[in-house]
Structure 1
Amino acid sequence: MILAANGIRRIEKGPKLVDSVIEQMRRMIDESVWKEGDKIASENQLAADFNVSRIVVREALQNLRAMNLIVTRQGLGSFVCNPNNFANNFEEINKLEISEDDFQSLSELRLCVEKRAAFLSVELATDDDLREVRNALQSMQDNIGDLDKFTSADFMFHMSIVEAGHSKFLSKVYQGCRNEIYFALREMNRVPESHTFAITSHTRIYNALVARDYNETSKIYKDTFEFNRARYKKLFRN
């Protein structure tokens, strides 16, 4: 097999092409080359990278979905997923107490407010503002496993970023939806092993803010919200 520039080994023609693609994809996930929340390339790109047909790639992705190693959402794409999110048949016995429509509507509001606040924070956040964001992140880390305390810290992380933008009305809008946002965060945080990914994504947001890098901050927000829509699709209340 030939190593492509992106780290994927191009597969030579032969029997069991699907098994070879699955094996390599699983290895990349196991070794965190593809990390939880990462968006996977399109079928066309993967076919070119692996030197196989789209039919082979499609079958390989179907197998990974069956293992809960990836989740796919039409219009959004496929993302690397933590299979433990679905441990103990969580999606069958513990539906989230929020509908997909409500989750999507609230996500749209949050994206509007939080991305704009992040843009302002990159320009206006003081050292004290960033310290508040860091303290909320530390509180999340300290309370992994405690649903209510973790969720309170999670909300304060986002609220601190909004306040760091120093926009009175953005803060009022966010505070006005506090109960709804807290409820949605708590439902997401009920999912097994979701706290680890939350810490990882929030750390990336904090680091991008400290670096005053709005483009990276905006990308993390967009990617995370899309990943959440994809991975929770089986868990939403009807």
Structure 2
Amino acid sequence: MATAKRQIVDASATSTRRPGRLLRDGTLPDRAYERILAMIADGAIAVGDKMPSEHELCGELEVSRPVLRQALKQLRADDVIVSRQGSGSYVVRRPERAILDFAPVGSVADIQRTFEFRAAVEGEAAYLAALRRTEQDMLRLKATLQELDRRIEAGELGVDADEDFHVAVCEASDNCYFTIARTSMKANILTGMNLTRNLSLTKPRERLALVQKEHYAIFDAIRDKDPAAARNAMRSHVENARKRVFEGKTTAG
């Protein structure tokens, strides 16, 4: 048991001190969340393993029980761990290890919440865009997709072009509050986009092509004035991005 605990501490400490990561202030629960996520991503706590007791984790992470429970609550919401009555909590998913390389320290929990925000807000924006879009809107959306095609062909990340597409969808909704709400979260959104597109380059390049296929599905639904399909395509696109990052899936996003 002592050896296992030592391995858990070492994995967590290494992950939160990785050179080159940007420092960012975070709440205590967010930092506890990230350290536990690092243990799981590094394999110190494997899929199928029972989580250490709250008493052990509080001691290792040097946090109070309320702080730890908030972190564990977020991990359950993210489908990384599950609680089994009378037995404890178990790891059910191992997120991409690279998120701890690319994401600023203390931001992982915020990135997860940002994906939830985007799925809700951008899904409704796409719904209204399909009802209200103009020919000028379609020309702009097509231009952003063509630029993304060019970036993929050149082997570039294309984060700014990706952002341009999503902004264009919001503006095509003809409701400025979607754009305003999204702008208020722009820093977090760009961090998430940088993360997902960087992760795509750590795997076969075809992943970015799959992402682009989802963009075209959104475009097609808006062009065809099919609001339900546009909403579903956008929500699916954002959710797939979250899954690839936090659940190690190979779906597009």
Give the aligned CA root-mean-square deviation in angstroms: 2.5
User: Which of 138, 151, 158 is the matching residue for 2:159?
Assistant: 151
Q: 1:177 Cα deviation (Å)?
A: 2.2
Report percent identity of matched pairs: 22
Q: Distance in 1 between matches of 2:197 and 2:175?
A: 28
How does the TM-score come out when normalised to structure 1?
A: 0.56
More off after superposition, 194-203 vs 221-230: 221-230
Q: Distance in 1 between matches of 2:164 and 2:208?
A: 15
Q: Which runs of 4+ in 1 moved over 3 A?
A: 90-96
Residue 97 (structure 2) aligns with:
91
Q: 1:92 Cα deviation (Å)?
A: 5.9
**Structure 1 unaligned blocks of 5 or more:** 1-72, 76-89
Q: For 1:106-145, what aligned pairs fall within 5 Å after superposition?
A: 106-144=114-152, 145=155
User: Which of 224, 234, 241 is the matching residue for 1:211?
Assistant: 224
Q: Distance in 2 between matches of 1:158 and 1:199?
A: 12
Residue 209 (structure 2) aligns with:
196
Q: After superposition, what is the alpha-carbon deviation per residue over 1:129-186, rounded to whole angstroms, capped at 9, x for unaligned?
A: 1111111111101111212xx1110000000000001112221122232222122111
How does the TM-score come out when normalised to structure 2?
A: 0.53
State how many pairs are aligned: 148
Q: 1:112 Cα deviation (Å)?
A: 2.4
Residue 78 (structure 1) aligns with:
none
Q: Distance in 1 between matches of 2:231 and 2:183?
A: 21
Q: After superposition, what is the alpha-carbon deviation per residue over 1:208-227, rounded to whole angstroms, capped at 9, x for unaligned?
A: 11011122122222323332
Q: Distance in 2 between matches of 1:124 and 1:234?
A: 35
Q: Distance in 1 between matches of 2:98 and 2:119?
A: 29
**Structure 2 unaligned blocks of 5 or more:** 1-77, 81-95, 249-253
Residue 184 (structure 1) aligns with:
192
